[in-house]
């Protein structure tokens, strides 16, 4: 563990040096990005976007991915690729028009084998993910999500995340600031970042790299000997969320937290036109990923339902039932 901490410290020192070296360039690029994004929205320029997720051999996870796949196919975005990192057995079950990248589950440190959330972040770190730098924007998200037609015009000029809910007391805030300070990282005081990150491809990957290393530190040093902590306080189960917060606060000068456009709940009755990205939270109300993967919607037929697909919960059910033809 001492060797791991030393390696982490050396990595953070290098990252900090590079951060201060290239920060003036980043500031200039932000203004350029704001200017260019105006033309993307007007349809003058074309960009390349990637929706990036990780899957492994898990029936529920693959069913949820089917909804994301079907939603992207349904809205017919001509600038967006769905890129799925995952284990070989899981990737074999995906349609051919998905970009598939074999990626083993994270196993170093060994504690990662019992913390599977890390894979949606660590998969963007290795050489197998370097091709992602060719994209303009990455939406790093989870499989249990949907895109709506509002995605077509969703080109934010700032690094954008959804709304999280993992920091609920001063003790947790103190731990996050302490860890950031311990590794000489900047923390701007922005907490509760959502699980989905959307922004410049290289910057999203940079955040993921640092977050992977920080997660290793948190689960091996902050929660030793099987300690779990206690939700909604300081809790091992959201270690990767803590790590992503610290990494984003360090590397990203301007973070837009927009829970309306990213990670918006799937049980809502609001119109889809205001919400490009929908996330299935923990609920049994329509639309529920738990009810869907349990087969409780299997008896429903699109021909016999009077769905208003302009409403989020109906749109999600519509897409989920359509996904049966692909998954």
pLDDT of 5 reads 54
CA separation for the pair 103, 169 (Å, rounded):
36
Sheet containing 99-102: give its strands across.
99-102, 80-86, 49-55, 137-140, 193-200, 159-163, 255-257
Q: Which of 22-26, 61-65, 296-300 has the lowest mean pLDDT?
A: 22-26
Instruction: Give the residue-averaged pLDDT of 43-53.
Output: 83
Span between the terminal Cα atoms of the chain, in Å:
43
Residue 82: its pLDDT value, please? 98
Instruction: Give me the count of residues in the chain.
Output: 327
pLDDT (0 to 100) of residue 34: 47
Residue 35: the pLDDT is: 47
Structure tokens at 69: 């796949």
Q: For position 24, what pLDDT does the model report?
A: 59
Q: Average of pLDDT values for 165-173?
A: 98
Q: What is the pLDDT of residue 9?
A: 54
Calculate the average pLDDT of the chain: 91
State the pLDDT at residue 2.
52
The mean pLDDT value for 30-52 works out to 63
pLDDT of residue 1: 53
Determine what percent of the chain is predicted with pLDDT higher than 70.
86
Q: How confident is the model at residue 78 (pLDDT cuts 50, 70, 90)?
A: very high
Q: What is the pLDDT of residue 247?
A: 98
Q: What is the DSSP letter of 221?
A: I
316 vs 311: CA distance, rounded Å: 9
Choose among 154, 131, 130: nearest CA to 72. Answer: 154
Mean pLDDT, range 153-178, rounded to an integer: 97
**Has residue 20 got a pLDDT over 90?**
no
3-state secondary structure of 265: strand
Residue at token pair 């909804």: 67
Q: Under a CB-based contact definition with an 8 Å cutoff, are residues 212 and 220 in contact? A: no
| In the predicted structure, residue 94 carries a pLDDT above the cut 90 | yes
CATH number for 2-325: choose from 3.30.70, 3.30.60, 3.30.1490, 3.90.550.
Answer: 3.90.550
For residues 146 and 51, give the distance between their C-alpha atoms in angstroms, rounded to a whole number.
Answer: 11
Percent of the chain having pLDDT more than 90? Answer: 85
> Which one has a higher pLDDT value, 25 or 219?
219
> What pLDDT score does 38 carry?
46
pLDDT higher than threshold 50 for residue 232: yes
- pLDDT band for position 237 (cuts 50, 70, 90): very high
Give the per-residue pLDDT at 152: 98
Which pLDDT belongs to residue 217?
A: 98
Closest CA to 242 of 193, 283, 198: 193
239-251 and 2-42 helices, crossing angle to 10°: 60
């Amino acid at each position: 563990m001492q060797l791991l901490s030393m390696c982490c410290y050396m990595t953070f020192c290098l990252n900090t040096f590079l951060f201060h070296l290239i920060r003036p360039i980043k500031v200039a690029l932000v203004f350029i990005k704001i200017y260019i994004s105006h033309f993307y929205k007007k349809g003058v320029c074309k960009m390349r976007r990637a929706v990036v997720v990780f899957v492994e051999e898990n029936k529920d996870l693959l069913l949820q991915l089917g909804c994301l796949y079907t939603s992207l196919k349904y809205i017919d975005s001509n600038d967006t690729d769905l890129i799925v990192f995952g284990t070989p057995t899981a990737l074999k079950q995906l349609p051919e028009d998905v970009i598939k990248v074999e990626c083993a589950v994270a196993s170093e440190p060994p504690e990662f084998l019992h913390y599977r959330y890390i894979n949606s972040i660590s998969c963007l770190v290795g050489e197998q993910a370097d091709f992602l730098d060719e994209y303009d924007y990455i939406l790093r998200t989870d499989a249990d999500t949907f895109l709506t037609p509002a995605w077509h015009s969703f080109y934010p000029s700032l690094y954008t995340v959804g709304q999280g809910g993992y920091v609920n007391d001063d003790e947790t805030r103190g731990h996050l600031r302490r860890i950031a300070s311990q590794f000489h990282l900047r923390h701007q005081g922005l907490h509760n970042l959502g699980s989905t990150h959307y922004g410049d491809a290289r910057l999203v990957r940079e955040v993921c790299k640092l977050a992977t290393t920080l997660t290793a530190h948190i689960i091996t040093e902050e929660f030793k000997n099987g300690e779990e902590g206690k939700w909604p306080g300081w809790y091992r189960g959201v270690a990767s969320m803590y790590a992503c917060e610290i990494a984003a606060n360090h590397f990203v000068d301007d973070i837009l937290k927009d829970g309306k456009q990213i990670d918006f709940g799937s049980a809502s009755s609001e119109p889809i036109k205001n919400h490009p990205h929908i996330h299935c939270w923990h609920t049994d109300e329509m639309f529920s990923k738990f009810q869907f993967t349990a087969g409780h919607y299997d008896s429903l037929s699109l021909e016999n339902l009077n769905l208003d697909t302009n409403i989020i919960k109906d749109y999600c059910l519509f897409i989920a039932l359509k996904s049966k033809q692909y998954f």
